[in-house]
Amino acid sequence: MDKDTVNNIFYGALDNQTVIYTFYLVTIYPDSGQVDLIGETVEGLQALAVRNPRISNVPTLSEYSLIVLAIVFLASALLVLRRRKQSIEA
């Protein structure tokens, strides 16, 4: 079982062991205690994980960092072109 902290919902695995063994993925609403079936799942499901949408696994730069990086690249490109021009003239 795992909790979706954004929506305050628990997700769990339910084993129905009546005549035929069936396995379901369910949602559990802690406020009301209501359990809804999402659908069948695999036998022996051991773990669930809910990803937090506010956490990004991809590191990114801010827009200001990207602007500074672009200026640094442009300055280094101009420096290389200037040195190349001086070596051709000599």
In this predicted structure, the answer to whether residue 90 has a pLDDT above a threshold of 80 is no
Q: Dump pLDDT digits (tens) for 17-46.
A: 777 778 888 888 888 988 888 888 888 777
In this predicted structure, the answer to whether residue 54 has a pLDDT above a threshold of 90 is no
Query: By C-alpha distance, which of 21, 17, 14 is closest to 37?
Result: 14
Helix (H, G, I), strand (E, B) or coil at 39: strand
Q: Check: CB of residue 11 under 8 Å from CB of residue 1.
A: yes
Vertex 54: Cα angle to 53 and 60 (nearest 5): 110
Asked if 26 and 64 sit in the same domain, the reply is no
pLDDT score of 80: 94
Local confidence band at 65 (pLDDT 50, 70, 90 cut-offs): very high
pLDDT score of 56: 62
- Specify the number of domains making up the chain: 2
Asked if 39 and 7 sit in the same domain, the reply is yes
Query: By C-alpha distance, which of 25, 32, 37 is closest to 8?
Result: 32
Domain extent at residue 30: 1-51
* pTM for this entry: 0.47
Asked if 47 and 64 sit in the same domain, the reply is no
Helix (H, G, I), strand (E, B) or coil at 45: coil
Helix (H, G, I), strand (E, B) or coil at 51: coil
